[in-house]
Structure 1
Amino acid sequence: MLTLLPSLLPSIAAATLYAAATVHQGRCLYKRSVPDKRLLALFGVLALLAHGTALLTQLLGHVGLSLDFFNSASLIAFAVITITLVACLSIPVENLLVLLFPLGIVTTLLAQFMPSGTLQPIDEEPGILAHILLSLLAYGLFTIAAVQALLLLVQNHQLKNKHPLVLIKNFPPLQTMESLLFGFIWAGWGLLTLSLISGWLFLENLLAQHLAHKTLLGCLAWIVFAVLLWGRNRLGWRGHKAIRWTLAGFCLLMLAYFGSKLVREYILHI
């Protein structure tokens, strides 16, 4: 069954505004000019308002919270773009938006037009809802960190070959990019820690059949990021080693959340 019709117009509006922001930023980067930050912020905020309006209908359209696969992806994209826009007020991360706005387009339209999975709406106590919110915010921050790591990998490769792309030429220096990366990782790791603690406190059985793999993969991701942060502080890890550990932890988290949801809702239908 398709998502409720009241979310149709805001979903299309959000996708259109994200697209307009992407085109504006892409043209400026291609011309090697600086995008108008005010215009970029205006497009982004308006898109988020429309995106949030659509999400409210999609998430609360039934009794309880409807967090199926595509709604969850849309919610995480909303959180990621919001965090990045807020971060732009104090740190130079606006170039990340040229990749995140298209993510907003795709997830908004998929949440609107793809059929829902078999997951039943969530009608739980505040503690469990807090656990879910902490998990989604942690995934959001680690998504930004993963995008940042990929851009850092491309930037490092291009600078070594002395043929940087137009997009890369507009990025901050490598040292600044790495500092931003670890800032996102520290914040994401803190939220992931709170998410795991809240899970142990409020969920009856974290090792139940439908939660065991998610718990195990989430704990493994926590360990990977903990080792990465230790290596950064104690051993000065940076460059390719830091990028590999970041992407490894991110993949574990995505398998924990989206992998399990995809299998359960669209393959096993449970």
Structure 2
Amino acid sequence: MQTIFFIMAALLYAVCAFLPARFKTAISLGTAFGWLLHGAALGADVIVPGAVRIGFAVVLSATLWVSVAAYWLENRNFSLDGLRVLVLPCAALAVLLPAIFPGSVVPLSAKSSLFPWHIAIAILAYSSLTIAAFHAVLMALQESRLHGRQGAGKDSWLDAAIDRLPALLTMEKLLFRLIGFGFFLLSLTVLSGIVFSEQLFGIPFQWDHKTVFTLLSWALFGLLLAGRYLRGWRGKTALSFTLSGFATLLLAYVGSRFVLEVVLHRSLA
């Protein structure tokens, strides 16, 4: 049943991504219904009696599920229709991945009761910083368009979406709000992973590729927020740090799990 829900959610996301902006109500309702189907299928797929299913596809799908909710809510407060053209196509692809790459089942009997909370906070951190990365891409396109030739590409679908974005200063405020929230959650993830590693994962703290990439991403986002507060960093500097931090965070779990599960065919969580 969850496979059917995944397919239906993907179709709704795809249709809503490419509908003209004048169908605002249909886009909002379709996105909300797709999000509900996505969440129901994801919950049925992840929650196994006495265990949870974890893998790169599940984490990526859950990350985009939360990102769609963030877009939907933000779009009700600000005119962020341009974000739709990036978030929903990515969500349409990510929603199908758990059906193709199911990951592995991790029994909860040997884990601490904090383990599900650690996973949930980590996914929320991923999601907040993912939507921040989408924001950064839109801001880069928006800035490029402002400095480009007037009238060039006016009729293109993407350019029309970019034209509907709020002013760059508003986009920048939203970006740093998302980064601040995501950094707080990522800090909780890192701290709990280091301090409670043996209770959470059944093994002492280890310096592996996942830890190194996560700490590097945490340092990049922390440096960006410090630079914003102390030196007023903005513009291209802020966008570069945001995208670099996101790419590093993506490598920390999703990228490494993809290699282990798909390339090396290892099922360890």
Call closer, same or farther: CA 1:115–1:192 in 2, change over 3 Å. Answer: closer
Asked if 2 retains the 8 angstrom alpha-carbon contact of 1:138 and 1:188, the reply is yes
Counterpart of 1:231 in structure 2 is 227
Counterpart of 1:14 in structure 2 is 9
Asked if 2 retains the 8 angstrom alpha-carbon contact of 1:141 and 1:184, the reply is yes
Residue type at the aligned position of 1:237: W
User: What is the aligned counterpart of 2:161 among 162, 167, 172?
Assistant: 167
Counterpart of 1:207 in structure 2 is 205
Counterpart of 2:70 in structure 1 is 83
Is 1:70 the equivalent of 2:57? yes
Counterpart of 1:250 in structure 2 is 246
How far has the Cα of 1:219 moved from its partner? 1.2
Q: 2-side partners of 1:95 and 1:168: how far apart?
A: 5
Q: 1-side partners of 2:94 and 2:185: how far apart?
A: 23
Q: 2-side partners of 1:40 and 1:184: how far apart?
A: 23
How far has the Cα of 1:175 moved from its partner? 0.9
Structure 1: gaps of 5 or more residues: 1-5, 29-33
Structure 2: gaps of 5 or more residues: none
Q: 2-side partners of 1:217 and 1:62: how far apart?
A: 32
Counterpart of 2:126 in structure 1 is 139
Matches for 1:1-270 after TM superposition, within 5 Å: 6-24=1-19, 27-28=20-21, 34-36=22-24, 38-61=25-48, 63-112=50-99, 114-117=100-103, 119-123=104-108, 124-162=111-149, 163=152, 165-204=159-198, 205=203, 207-208=205-206, 212-268=208-264, 269=266, 270=268
Alignment root-mean-square deviation, CA: 1.9
Q: TM-score, normalising length from structure 1?
A: 0.87
Asked if 2 retains the 8 angstrom alpha-carbon contact of 1:207 and 1:215, the reply is no
Instruction: Extract structure 1 runs of 4+ deviating beyond 6 A.
Output: none
Q: 2-side partners of 1:62 and 1:94: how far apart?
A: 40
Q: 1-side partners of 2:225 and 2:35: how far apart?
A: 32
Deviations 1:101-156 (A, max 9, x none): 111211112222x1434x34242332121111111111111111111111111111
Please give the secondary structure, in 2, of the residue aligned with 1:126: coil
How far has the Cα of 1:67 moved from its partner? 1.2
Q: 2-side partners of 1:206 and 1:214: how far apart?
A: 14
Deviations 1:139-196 (A, max 9, x none): 1111111111111111111110134622221111111111111111111001111111
Residue type at the aligned position of 1:232: R
**Share of identical aligned residues, percent?**
32
Call closer, same or farther: CA 1:88–1:126 in 2, change over 3 Å. Answer: farther
Call closer, same or farther: CA 1:138–1:52 in 2, change over 3 Å. Answer: same
Q: 2-side partners of 1:65 and 1:93: how far apart?
A: 35
Asked if 2 retains the 8 angstrom alpha-carbon contact of 1:127 and 1:198, the reply is no
Q: TM-score, normalising length from structure 2?
A: 0.87
Q: 2-side partners of 1:235 and 1:262: how far apart?
A: 38
The number of equivalent residue pairs is 253
Counterpart of 1:31 in structure 2 is none
Please give the secondary structure, in 2, of the residue aligned with 1:92: coil
Asked if 1 retains the 8 angstrom alpha-carbon contact of 2:58 and 2:98, the reply is yes
Q: 2-side partners of 1:35 and 1:122: how far apart?
A: 45
Call closer, same or farther: CA 1:206–1:214 in 2, change over 3 Å. Answer: farther
Q: 2-side partners of 1:217 and 1:206: how far apart?
A: 18
Call closer, same or farther: CA 1:222–1:9 in 2, change over 3 Å. Answer: same
Deviations 1:196-252 (A, max 9, x none): 1222233215633xx622122111111111110111122111111111111111111
